[in-house]
């Protein structure tokens, strides 16, 4: 809330100075925390005397990353995992959004399907992943399906909560204005559900990467999961770390993209 | 007061007994040893189960504990001396040494490399040449299956792209049955036996018939060899006695092994798997590694790029503890 300046005097410069200083401090937070993490990592090696095959030092991981980047290994596998994650996220989002809307709008459909949907969540994806590989082959389809299965539930729940969060009064108002079903959906339900939908999408974006890796562990053709498997098999622990860092980068990138999307799509709220 | 006197008397008696110069004789304490075995308890580990059940480890002063994990998890633990022993395949040791892990293969267990290519009999895949242009499933482009496959291609002079490889994880039996692949890289003593028991007619190409690779055996680390050679010798002595007994009496071996396997497998199928395994264990030189096989394995790994430079094989394995 804005505070009036009763004396109509110039606002002292301190408040202007403070935010700039805070901004500078905040900009420093990430590099400082990163440096602390690297120091803790290196110290663990110095103190415990871990050999490189148990815990490789940061410098060794960096060197291995340069090699994996220069020979194309890292980019090739990263691109595959990224495409599986995005594909799974898209499929999971589409199915969860459609089904979530139906469940939110119809108690009958909810009573019919909810027990099965909840029960399906108690099945570990890693247990059914080999079956998906058998049924759909070890290519992109099975990996996308595994990602979609993991993404599905959090997005579904958020869509249901979002659609149900619409104020009944607003719905009544739209009806009195003779809004048809599509107008109700596009002008009321969709904007109202959007914050929750995007919240679910943020969770789904990170889970989708996990789904891709689960699929690649079970049917390791390509991708960062198979790179980890191969590197572990060759006792190249530094390469395992490189692949894990790439996975973190993908997850952070996808999360950041959704956060940006959220900022753009929900700008009207501010 | 009476209670106090009783307490003082009891305490005095306890102190007197503690200071007694003639303690009861006790047996030498056993050395607790954890032995890592691949993935899950299985009838294929029968020689070790038999050695435990018959007290062969205890005879050597060893209290054995079996732990199961993936081979590629066990090897770094042995390298770091967190574990002292593991059953591991030879190619893992070469790759581990290439990365600086101080692991040493001290006892050959499997005489033959157990990897094979299985396919439905109706497809007529009887020789490696018949695999040309076929879709072949394997767990992934790593591990014993991939190395066995490549060794087979090398031995027969077939190009790397002779067949279309597909990574199918550990679903080989299902993939062969469902026909999603023409053939799959399997363990000769496992999937073909179970598929045959389920009524499938199969052709099996055993890699060992074409290429002689070093196979599974007992592994320890340089530290244990240096500071506890008697422990290494004891483990090998017990394991080889268990192996000999298993080969001599498979029925007894199945009975002694079943208590280690949960859930208990079908005893008839377990016996068939054991029989197939025994055929691959039989040897004239129990425990003794053949340098020529290690050299072939080393060459295959170099050729595949799984190691980038040669290693000193003399440090990767030793026959020091299995000399007659």
Residues of B near A (CB-CB distance < 8 A)? 72-73, 75-76, 79-80, 92, 95-96, 98-101, 139-143, 166-171, 174-175, 178, 180, 306-307
Query: What is the rounded distance in angstroms from the CA atom of residue B35 to the CA atom of residue B102?
Result: 17
How close A254 gets to chain B, by Cα (Å)? 27
B274's tokens: 């054991």
Average pLDDT, chain B: 90
Query: What is the rounded distance in angstroms from the CA atom of residue B254 to the CA atom of residue B303?
Result: 40
A58-70 vs A13-48: helix axis angle to the nearest 10? 100
Which of chain B's residues have a Cβ under 8 Å away from the Cβ of A217?
169
Answer whether residue A2 shows pLDDT above 70: no
A142 to chain B, any CB pair closer than 8 A? The answer is no
Residue keyed to tokens 């990602």: A147
How close B223 gets to chain A, by Cα (Å)? 14
B43's tokens: 């009838």
Contact B130/A269 with Cβ under 8 angstroms? no
Contact B253/B49 with Cβ under 8 angstroms? yes
Nearest to B174 among A134, A138, A217 (CB): A134
Strand order across the beta sheet in which B135-138 lies: B164-167, B135-138, B183-187, B115-120, B202-206
Average pLDDT, chain A: 88
Q: Which domain holds residue A239?
A: 58-269
Q: Where are the alpha helices (DSSP H) in chain A?
A: 13-48, 58-70, 73-105, 107-120, 125-136, 140-164, 168-176, 181-184, 190-218, 224-233, 237-265
Instruction: Give me the number of domains chain A comprises.
Output: 1
Question: Is there a contact between A220 and B80 if contact means CB atoms under 8 Å apart?
Answer: no
Question: For residue A247, what are the contacts with CB-CB under 8 A and spacing of at least 6?
Answer: A81, A209, A213, A224
Calculate ∠ Cα B58-B59-B65, nearest 5°: 20
Domains B31-112+214-316 and B115-209 share a fold: yes
The predicted structure's pLDDT at residue A18:
58
Say whether B60 sits in a helix, a strand or coil: coil
Query: What is the rounded distance in angstroms from the CA atom of residue B294 to the CA atom of residue B302?
Result: 12
Distance of CA A93 to the CA centre of its chain: 12
Answer whether residue A5 shows pLDDT above 80: no
B52-108 pLDDT per residue, tens = 999 999 999 999 999 998 888 899 999 999 999 999 999 999 999 999 999 999 999
Q: How far is CA B229 from CA A67, B17, B84, B88, B232, in A?
A: 40, 39, 12, 19, 5
**Average pLDDT score over residue span B1-6:** 48
Which of chain B's residues have a Cβ under 8 Å away from the Cβ of A134?
168, 171, 174-175, 178, 180
A residues 96-135 lying closer than 8 A (beta carbon) to B: 130, 133-134
Please tell me the pTM assigned to this model: 0.78
More confident residue, A23 or B135: B135
Question: Is there a contact between B140 and A229 if contact means CB atoms under 8 Å apart?
Answer: yes
> Does A206 map to a domain?
yes
Burial class (CB in 10 A: 0-12, 13-18, 19+), B303: middle
The predicted structure's pLDDT at residue B21:
44
Answer whether residue A76 shows pLDDT above 70: yes
Question: Is there a contact between B170 and A51 if contact means CB atoms under 8 Å apart?
Answer: no
How close B132 gets to chain A, by Cα (Å)? 20
B211's tokens: 């290429």
A13-65 pLDDT per residue, tens = 445 555 666 677 778 888 899 999 999 999 999 998 888 888 999 999 999 99
Burial class (CB in 10 A: 0-12, 13-18, 19+), B187: buried
The predicted structure's pLDDT at residue B27:
65
Question: Is there a contact between B169 and A232 if contact means CB atoms under 8 Å apart?
Answer: no
How close A211 gets to chain B, by Cα (Å)? 16
Query: What is the rounded distance in angstroms from the CA atom of residue B320 to the CA atom of residue B315?
Result: 12
Question: For residue A254, what are the contacts with CB-CB under 8 A and spacing of at least 6?
Answer: A85, A86, A89, A205, A206, A208, A209
Query: What is the rounded distance in angstroms from the CA atom of residue B213 to the CA atom of residue B142?
Result: 16
Question: Is there a contact between A220 and B175 if contact means CB atoms under 8 Å apart?
Answer: no
Answer whether residue B175 shows pLDDT above 80: yes
Residue to mutate among B90, B142, B172, with most A CBs inside 10 A, is B142
The predicted structure's pLDDT at residue A36:
95
CATH code of residue A101? 1.10.3720.10
pLDDT grade, residue B18 (50/70/90)? very low
Query: What is the rounded distance in angstroms from the CA atom of residue B101 to the CA atom of residue A178?
Result: 75
Query: What is the rounded distance in angstroms from the CA atom of residue B65 to the CA atom of residue B35?
Result: 6
> Does A5 map to a domain?
no
CATH code, B31-112+214-316: 3.40.190.10
Contact A161/A196 with Cβ under 8 angstroms? yes
Question: Is there a contact between A226 and B169 if contact means CB atoms under 8 Å apart?
Answer: no
Burial class (CB in 10 A: 0-12, 13-18, 19+), A102: middle
Query: What is the rounded distance in angstroms from the CA atom of residue B252 to the CA atom of residue B243?
Result: 12
How close A126 gets to chain B, by Cα (Å)? 12
Supply φ then ψ for residue B81, to 5 degrees: 65, 20
**Average pLDDT score over residue span A226-254:** 93
Nearest to B142 among A137, A138, A229 (CB): A229
Residue A260: count of CB within 10 angstroms of its CB: 10
Query: What is the rounded distance in angstroms from the CA atom of residue B36 to the CA atom of residue B238?
Result: 16
pLDDT grade, residue B262 (50/70/90)? confident
The predicted structure's pLDDT at residue A147:
95
Question: Is there a contact between B169 and A138 if contact means CB atoms under 8 Å apart?
Answer: yes
Residue to mutate among B81, B83, B99, B137, with most A CBs inside 10 A, is B99
Give ipTM to 2 decimals: 0.70
Q: What is the DSSP track for A75-116? A: HHHHHHHHHHHHHHHHHHHHHHHHHHHHHHH-HHHHHHHHHH
The predicted structure's pLDDT at residue A131:
86
Query: What is the rounded distance in angstroms from the CA atom of residue B56 to the CA atom of residue B35?
Result: 14
**Average pLDDT score over residue span A134-146:** 89
Supply φ then ψ for residue B85, to 5 degrees: -140, 150
CATH superfamily for domain B115-209: Periplasmic binding protein-like II (3.40.190.10)
**Run of H or E including B236:** helix B229-248
Is the bond preceding residue B263 a cis peptide, omega within 30 degrees?
A: yes
More confident residue, B16 or A24: A24
Search chain B and give the residue with CA nearest A214: B169
Question: For residue A114, what are the contacts with CB-CB under 8 A and spacing of at least 6?
Answer: A103
Query: What is the rounded distance in angstroms from the CA atom of residue B66 to the CA atom of residue B224?
Result: 18
Question: Is there a contact between B171 and A237 if contact means CB atoms under 8 Å apart?
Answer: no
Q: Percent of chain A beyond pLDDT 70?
A: 91
Query: What is the rounded distance in angstroms from the CA atom of residue A243 to the CA atom of residue A227?
Result: 7
| Sign (positive or negative) of CA dihedral B179, B182, B186, B188 | positive
Domain boundary assignment for chain B:
31-112+214-316, 115-209
Nearest to B101 among A53, A137, A219 (CB): A53
Query: What is the rounded distance in angstroms from the CA atom of residue B200 to the CA atom of residue A252?
Result: 48
């Amino acid at each position: 809330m804005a505070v009036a300046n009763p004396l109509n005097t110039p606002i002292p410069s301190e408040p202007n100075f403070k935010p700039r200083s805070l901004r500078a401090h905040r900009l420093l937070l990430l590099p400082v925390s990163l440096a602390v993490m690297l120091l803790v990592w290196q110290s663990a090696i110095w103190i415990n005397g871990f050999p490189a095959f148990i815990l490789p030092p940061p410098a060794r991981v960096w060197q291995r990353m340069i090699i994996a980047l220069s020979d194309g290994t890292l980019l090739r596998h990263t691109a595959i995992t990224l495409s599986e994650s995005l594909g799974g996220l898209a499929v999971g989002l589409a199915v969860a959004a459609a089904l979530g809307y139906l469940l939110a709008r119809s108690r009958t459909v909810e009573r019919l399907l909810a027990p099965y949907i909840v029960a399906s969540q108690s099945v570990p994806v890693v247990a059914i992943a080999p079956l998906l590989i058998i049924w759909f082959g070890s290519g992109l389809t099975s990996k996308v399906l595994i990602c979609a299965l993991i993404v599905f539930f959090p997005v579904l729940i958020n869509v249901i909560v979002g659609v149900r969060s619409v104020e009944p009064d607003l719905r009544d108002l739209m009806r009195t204005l003779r809004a048809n079903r599509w107008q109700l959906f596009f002008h009321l339900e969709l904007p109202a559900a959007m914050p929750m939908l995007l919240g679910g999408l943020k969770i789904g974006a990170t889970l989708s990467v996990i789904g891709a890796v689960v699929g690649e562990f079970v049917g390791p053709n390509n991708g960062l999961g198979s790179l980890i498997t191969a590197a572990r098999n060759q006792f190249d622990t530094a390469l395992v770390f490189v692949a894990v860092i790439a996975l973190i980068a993908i997850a952070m990138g996808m999360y950041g993209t959704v956060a940006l999307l959220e900022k753009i799509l929900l700008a009207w709220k501010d | 007061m009476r209670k106090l006197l009783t307490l003082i008397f009891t305490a005095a008696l306890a102190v007197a007994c503690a200071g007694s110069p003639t303690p009861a004789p006790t047996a030498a304490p056993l050395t607790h040893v954890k032995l890592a075995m691949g993935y899950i308890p299985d009838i294929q580990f029968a020689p070790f189960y038999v050695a435990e059940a018959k007290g062969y480890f205890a005879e050597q002063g060893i209290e054995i504990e079996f732990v199961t994990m993936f081979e590629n998890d066990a090897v770094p633990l042995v390298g770091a001396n967190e574990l002292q022993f593991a059953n591991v395949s030879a190619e893992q040791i070469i790759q581990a040494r290439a990365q600086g892990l101080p692991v040493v293969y001290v006892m050959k267990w499997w005489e033959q490399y157990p990897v094979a290519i299985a396919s439905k009999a109706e497809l007529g895949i009887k020789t490696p040449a018949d695999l040309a242009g076929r879709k072949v499933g394997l767990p992934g482009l790593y591990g014993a299956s991939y190395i066995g496959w490549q060794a087979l291609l090398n031995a027969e002079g077939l190009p790397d792209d002779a067949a279309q490889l597909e990574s199918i994880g550990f679903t080989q039996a299902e993939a062969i049955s469902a026909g999603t692949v023409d053939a799959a890289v399997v363990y000769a003593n496992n999937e073909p036996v179970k598929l045959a028991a389920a009524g499938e007619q199969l052709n099996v190409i055993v890699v060992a018939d074409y290429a002689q690779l070093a196979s599974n055996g007992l592994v320890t680390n340089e530290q244990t060899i240096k500071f506890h050679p008697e422990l290494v010798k004891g483990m090998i002595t017990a394991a080889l006695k268990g192996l000999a007994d298993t080969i001599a009496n498979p029925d007894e071996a199945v009975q002694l092994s079943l208590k280690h396997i949960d859930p208990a497998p079908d005893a008839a199928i377990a016996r068939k798997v054991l029989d197939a395994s025994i055929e691959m264990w039989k040897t004239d030189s129990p425990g003794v590694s053949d340098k020529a096989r290690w050299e072939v394995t080393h060459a295959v790994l170099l050729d595949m790029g799984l190691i980038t430079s040669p290693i000193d094989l003399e440090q990767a394995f030793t026959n020091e503890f299995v000399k007659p």
